[in-house]
Amino acid sequence: MKKSFLIIFSIFLLFSCSKAKKPLSTASVNNGGVEVSEYRLKNDIPVYIADKVSNDVCAVFILFEGGTRLSSYEESGLENATLELMSRSTENLSYQDLQSLMYTNQSSISHYTMYCGSAYYLSCINYYLDDMLDVFLSSLIEISDSSFEDIYREEQQKITSMQNNPQSILFHDIHKRVYDGTSLLASSSVQPESLSNIKFENIERCHKALLNSKRIKVVAVGKINKNKFLKKLNNTLGKFEGEEIPPVNKNEKLNLTDEKITLTHKDARGSEIIVRVFEAPKVTSPDYITGRLTEDIFTTTMFNIIREKYGACYSPGTEIDSSDLAVGLDYGLRVSDMKNFPKYLEECQTLMLDGRVISSVDGDQTTYDTIENVLEGTKNSYITQKYMSQATSSGIASRLAASLLQFGDLTTADGMMQKVEFVTADDIKACFKKYWIDGKSQWFEMRGE
What is the SS3 assignment for 47?
A: strand
pLDDT band at 359 (very low <50, low <70, confident <90, very high): confident
Q: Which CATH superfamily is domain 261-448 in?
A: Metalloenzyme, LuxS/M16 peptidase-like (3.30.830.10)
- The CATH T-level fold of domain 17-239 is Cytochrome Bc1 Complex; Chain A, domain 1 (3.30.830)
In 284-392, which residue ranges form alpha helices assigned H by DSSP?
288-302, 341-353, 371-387
pLDDT band at 21 (very low <50, low <70, confident <90, very high): very low
> What is the pLDDT averaged over residues 391-406?
90
Specify the domain boundaries for CATH 3.30.830.10 within the chain: 17-239, 261-448
Instruction: Kindly tell me the sign of the dihedral angle through the C-alpha atoms of 8, 11, 16, 20.
Output: negative
Q: Is the pLDDT of residue 4 over 50?
A: no
Compute the mean pLDDT over every residue in the chain, rounded to the nearest whole number. 90
CB 109 within 8 A of CB 121: yes
Q: Is the pLDDT of residue 16 over 90?
A: no
Strands 27-31 and 57-65: unpaired
DSSP designation for 34: E
Report for 3-7, 170-174, 246-250, 269-273: range of highest mean pLDDT: 170-174
Q: Is the pLDDT of residue 366 over 70?
A: yes
Q: For residue 248, what pLDDT is reported? A: 85
Residues 6+ apart with CB under 8 A from 13: 20, 24, 26, 40
pLDDT band at 214 (very low <50, low <70, confident <90, very high): very high
For residue 84, the one-letter residue type is E
Select the more confidently predicted residue: 384 or 352: 352
Q: Is the pLDDT of residue 6 over 60?
A: no
Rounded to whole angstroms, the Cα distance separating 410 from 58 reads 18
Long-range contacts of 168-177 (CB under 8 A, 24+ apart): 169/263, 169/265, 169/446, 170/263, 170/273, 170/275, 170/444, 170/445, 170/446, 171/275, 173/261, 173/263, 173/444, 174/261, 174/275, 174/277, 174/444, 176/73, 177/255, 177/261
pLDDT band at 389 (very low <50, low <70, confident <90, very high): low
Q: Is the pLDDT of residue 209 over 70?
A: yes
CB 379 within 8 A of CB 296: no
Rounded to whole angstroms, the Cα distance separating 182 from 179 reads 5
Residues 6+ apart with CB under 8 A from 373: none
Q: For residue 390, what pLDDT is reported? A: 63
Select the more confidently predicted residue: 363 or 158: 158
> What is the pLDDT averaged over residues 201-212?
97
Q: Is the pLDDT of residue 316 over 50?
A: yes
Minimal CA–CA distance to 198: which of 296, 337, 75? Answer: 75
